[in-house]
Structure 1
Amino acid sequence: MPTNPRLSPMAALPVRHLVRTVRWYVLHSWWLLLPLFGCSCLGGLGFLYVGLLARRTAWWVSGLGYLGVSVLSFALRDGFETDTPAKALGVALFIAGWLGSVIHSIVVNVLWLQWLADPTPRPRHQPTPAVASAWPGGPVPAAPPASPPAVPLPPQVPATPPPAGMVDVNTVSAEQLAGLPFFDAARAERVLAERHSRGRFGYVEEFAAAAQLAPHEYTRLLPMLVVITRG
């Protein structure tokens, strides 16, 4: 029988993990205070901060745009002593820049937290040696490193097969792990090595900790994982 009930992703986490996760989200979302209370001027600095750290051109360019709108609105508002259309335009630009930076920062913060959880750059496509050698002057990529030897697993006691569409974390193979979302050969071998040293995983959370899953990865994989009680 499966030992992990179908719980919501946050309910399945241990209490200490839940508290740490909420604290992590709050600490890394501090920059939202800049557009909220600093209007488009400080909001532009917030976009520059996250854009330069994450190397997202669209974010830091947006920060420059909000700074430009802020400077222009102040120039129109303070450059005229009486009520004029230009001064009214400055006030409208100030309000529009502030509201736009607040809404935009909330959207960007979701992507910012996802980047913090998994900042590893995705590998770009590399041509095969045969294709690269055909390019004029093109270097031939080095041969890929040899895969590490497979970690021998202890003999498995027969158990009830997992339900359809789910994998038992104590019997899943390296090939099956590598086929799961967010897994590659290196992460699969690391999890199998940890399972070998433990003997077996008692809970899905132990498997998630061994795989060093980020919160959004854990949420995505939870419905696919199960721990089978030995017969």
Structure 2
Amino acid sequence: MTTGRPLPRDWGWRVLHSLWVLPSLLCFGFTTWMGFLYIGIRTRHRVWLMSAFAHFAGAVLLITLIIVSGPTKSEIDSGAAQRTATQEMFNNFGAACLFVLWLAGVVHSLIVLPQFWRALDQRQAPPPMAPYPGQPAPTWPPGHTGPKPWPNSDYTPAPQPITPVPPSAPTVHWPDGGTNPHR
């Protein structure tokens, strides 16, 4: 979902908040779910949490296929029994699933990345500060509406009146009944 808004912040911020993509790139799809779990929790976005579950289920499927695919080539060379036809089928299917899951995880992560940047930038926008007397109230940067407590929420906080309270000096009562002994 492209909103047409410009990408947030500078390149350093974007690189820092793109590190969650590394597990999908480096670990053959086995740890893609960790990145989606991170961004789902960070932004409270249910779809990304469900994506984390789907990628986790794919990783469990791959591990299961590795376990049932029988001995490896090096184990066969060192004297283990040959693979059966079923084990060979699981081995080939597992290799295909590994490639598909890895490629799908990388593509999915790269598609979601700009959406995560925008969601995170919206949540991290600093709130406006209360103005001093005689100063205009600060405004949000263009394109920002301020942080929301929960995505897709109808909650809006009640407006709070800003009334500065002047500091008052404590009244000191001296034993002779006066309030200022130096008068």
Instruction: Provide TM-score, normalisation by structure 1.
Output: 0.44
Q: Secondary structure at the match of 1:84?
A: helix
Q: Does 1:66 align with 2:77?
A: no
Q: Tell me, in whole angstroms, the C-alpha distance in 2 between the residues paired with 1:54 and 1:42.
A: 19
Q: Deviations over 1:95-137 (max 9, x none)?
A: 11111010001111111100111128xxxxxxxxxxxxxxxxx
Alignment coverage as a number of residue pairs: 116
Q: Tell me, in whole angstroms, the C-alpha distance in 1 between the residues paired with 2:90 and 2:102.
A: 18
8 Å CA contact 2:31, 2:59 repeated in 1: no
Please, which moves more after superposition, 64-73 or 76-85?
76-85
Higher helix proportion (structure 1 or 2): 1
8 Å CA contact 1:35, 1:42 repeated in 2: yes
Q: Does 1:114 align with 2:102?
A: no
Q: Secondary structure at the match of 1:41?
A: coil
Residue 213 of structure 1 aligns with which residue? 141
Q: Report the residue type matching 2:26 in the other structure.
A: F
Residue 190 of structure 1 aligns with which residue? 137
Superposition map of 1:153-164 within 5 A: none
Q: Report the residue type matching 1:74 in the other structure.
A: I
The offset of 1:190, in angstroms, is 2.7
Q: Report the residue type matching 1:24 in the other structure.
A: W
| Structure 2 unmatched ranges of 5 or more | 1-5, 71-82, 125-130, 145-183
The offset of 1:42, in angstroms, is 1.2
Q: Tell me, in whole angstroms, the C-alpha distance in 2 between the residues paired with 1:70 and 1:115.
A: 27
Q: Does 1:51 align with 2:40?
A: yes
Candidates 80, 89, 92, aligned match of 1:88: 92
Larger RCO (CA within 8 A; separation ≥ 6): 1
Please, which moves more after superposition, 73-82 or 103-112?
73-82
Q: Which has the larger radius of gyration?
A: 2
Residue 194 of structure 1 aligns with which residue? none
Q: Tell me, in whole angstroms, the C-alpha distance in 1 between the residues paired with 2:10 and 2:69.
A: 50
Q: Tell me, in whole angstroms, the C-alpha distance in 1 between the residues paired with 2:140 and 2:26.
A: 36
Q: Percent identity?
A: 27
Q: Tell me, in whole angstroms, the C-alpha distance in 1 between the residues paired with 2:140 and 2:65.
A: 53
Large movers: runs of 4+ above 4 Å? none
Q: Tell me, in whole angstroms, the C-alpha distance in 2 between the residues paired with 1:114 and 1:45.
A: 20
Instruction: Provide TM-score, normalisation by structure 2.
Output: 0.55
Superposition map of 1:100-179 within 5 A: 100-119=104-123
The 1:212/1:26 distance shift into structure 2, 3 A limit, reads farther
| Structure 1 unmatched ranges of 5 or more | 1-8, 11-19, 121-147, 153-188, 192-210, 219-231
Q: Tell me, in whole angstroms, the C-alpha distance in 2 between the residues paired with 1:45 and 1:96.
A: 18
Q: Tell me, in whole angstroms, the C-alpha distance in 2 between the residues paired with 1:53 and 1:87.
A: 37
